[in-house]
Amino acid sequence: MLEHHGDYVERQASREIHKKGVPLLVSAIILREIGAGQIDLARIENIANTKIITIFEVKSKWRPAPGQWQRLKKSSLFLSYIFNISTVIRVWRFEKEILPN
């Protein structure tokens, strides 16, 4: 069975992103209920002795649309409130468009 390109890209991103910090799984159902954006990947990490949540939007070609940024910001605010720590949103762009054989 041929793997979908988006699944491959997200799996590659997960391998890189989760090498550092603690992976954070956030329910898409809860985020949708509050009108926030689904999170591709996230981790909790220590930066300069301060815990921070980094939210990653995984893209293979384009950047997030303005509406998507607004929903991700809502997700960021929600997580910051729940965990009482700062959050940051980053785009993880997959540069190599190579699919497995």
pLDDT value at residue 6 = 59
| Token couple for 60 | 């293979």
DSSP state of 62: S
CA distances to 58, 75, 87 from 29, in Å: 19, 12, 20
Profile the chain (101 residues) by mean pLDDT over runs of 10 residues: 57 75 91 90 91 86 73 94 94 59 37
pLDDT value at residue 92 = 78
| Token couple for 49 | 């002795």
pLDDT value at residue 64 = 67
Q: Is 43 helix (H, G, I), strand (E, B) or coil?
A: strand
- Residue 64 in any domain: the answer is yes
Q: How many domains does the chain have?
A: 1
CATH of the domain at 29: 3.40.1350
